[in-house]
Amino acid sequence: MSDRLVLTGDHVLEPAEAPQTAPDLGRRPQRVWPRRGAAGAARAPRIAVLDGLRLFAALSVVLFHYLAGSGTIPWQRTAVELFPTLHKVAGFGWLGVVFFFMISGFVICMSAWGKSLQQFWQGRILRLFPLYWAAVVLASAAARLGPQTPGEQRVTIGRMLTNLTMLQEPLGVNGIDNVYWTLWVELRFYLIFSLVVLLGTSHRRVANFCWLWALGSVLAPASGIHLLDQLLVPAWASFFIAGMAFHLVRRAGRLEGETLGILALSWLLMQHWLPAIMEGEGHGINWKVCLAAITVMYVVMGLIALGKLDWIQWRWLPIAGAISYPLYLVHQSLGVRVIWRWNEQWGAWPTLLGVISGAMLIAWLLHRLVERPLVPLLRRLLTPAAPASR
């Protein structure tokens, strides 16, 4: 996809953001999965399968951009000629963005539960911005110093600095990398979900929020109010709504009638917007296949919500989750240049496999060398100091 896709990603459970499990007043007790940390405090277990699914979504977007994107395909010969079968599969890789948004709705709802508004936004800033800043700097350096691809816009210092805000799209400035557009979608989700966090997360408030957002996404395009249309992101709202509904299922331990209604409405709205999404992003592929693939995503998320996939606890999954976000951020700005410059010398398959492996290595290095040291430092800066005792 040209994002968001973001495919934003979010750790399935960050140690500093383990969701609190205070019960909702007036509702039956919710299922809790206690786990003891180093300090003996109970916390919810990590849903490891979501980490693997996020990496799967990121890799599908990678293949789409390398082999089937609507923009410049970075091969001197056509991808259809070089990868006749894989090219067809990669054409559906943009659906990884859809999966990202659905997972984001689930995870953001989970991580915000019981948090104050300050804690919620601190967590979002710490998760998104350090890696994003590093990606913007790398992409800018690659654009100015590396091989140039056809039709590429010049990266100025001002454009790079504006991109560091993550607000370049509403400011009318092109992203250094096309994939950044999904981050603006994510930020709008955080912004409107902040109302729930401010009032206090509960089953009833999250469910009401899902109903109201779904209704707003229907009314916004016809209202003629551009701000409302921008804020409620009608085309993408149903995926976030589905993710939040699946988290309600997870907390309740079963699928209840109201939650089923939210999921059914989100699916119906999704199928309505799907042709417009495909047309707007230049995805000239089969609508029925895309609808079936997204329906499978609903089924998978339903199994996760009901705990049917909790047995999947492979040791490499947390690493997969950690690198999915930086992989999404850097794969296009760096990988496309390498493919364009050296694919004829290296050959098609060695280039493709080598660039994907290299992008995953860079993503891991960003996680280890940027995210790990910088996030604790920023957390200390963002956390108010305790008043000195007299």
Distance of CA 3 to the CA centre of its chain: 9
| Distance between CA atoms of residues 4 and 108, nearest Å | 15
Instruction: Flag whether 29 is in a domain.
Output: no
User: What pLDDT does residue 192 have?
Assistant: 97
Distance of CA 204 to the CA centre of its chain: 25
Question: What are the beta bridge partners of residue 36?
Answer: 42
Instruction: Flag whether 130 is in a domain.
Output: yes
* 69 residue type, one letter: G
| Distance between CA atoms of residues 174 and 177, nearest Å | 8
Instruction: Flag whether 274 is in a domain.
Output: yes
Distance between first and last Cα of the chain? 58
Compute the half-sphere exposure of residue 278: CA atoms within 13 Å on the CB side of its CA: 19
| Distance between CA atoms of residues 362 and 360, nearest Å | 5
Three-state DSSP class for 43?
coil
User: What pLDDT does residue 341 have?
Assistant: 87
- Number of structural domains in the chain: 1
User: What pLDDT does residue 82 have?
Assistant: 87
Instruction: Flag whether 255 is in a domain.
Output: yes
Q: What number of other Cβ atoms are within 10 A of residue 233's Cβ?
A: 21
User: What pLDDT does residue 382 have?
Assistant: 82
Instruction: Flag whether 100 is in a domain.
Output: yes
Instruction: Flag whether 390 is in a domain.
Output: no
For residue 134, what are the domain limits?
15-23+41-380
Instruction: Quote the tokens at residue 147.
Output: 């091989």
| Distance between CA atoms of residues 55 and 77, nearest Å | 28
- Is the CB of residue 240 less than 8 Å from the CB of residue 104? yes
User: What pLDDT does residue 71 have?
Assistant: 56
Instruction: Quote the tokens at residue 357.
Output: 């492996």
Within 8 A by CB and 6+ apart from 303, the residues are 309
- Is the CB of residue 65 less than 8 Å from the CB of residue 26? no
Weakly modelled stretches of the chain, pLDDT under 70: 1-45, 69-73, 280-284, 385-390
Report the candidate in 344, 338, 266 with the shortest Cα–Cα distance to residue 98: 266
| Distance between CA atoms of residues 208 and 2, nearest Å | 33
Question: What are the beta bridge partners of residue 233?
Answer: none
Q: What number of other Cβ atoms are within 10 A of residue 179's Cβ?
A: 27
pLDDT tens-digit map of 318-356: 999 999 999 999 999 999 899 988 888 899 999 999 999
User: What pLDDT does residue 147 have?
Assistant: 80
Instruction: Flag whether 92 is in a domain.
Output: yes
User: What pLDDT does residue 1 have?
Assistant: 44
**What is the reported pTM?**
0.86
Instruction: Flag whether 204 is in a domain.
Output: yes
| Distance between CA atoms of residues 344 and 250, nearest Å | 50
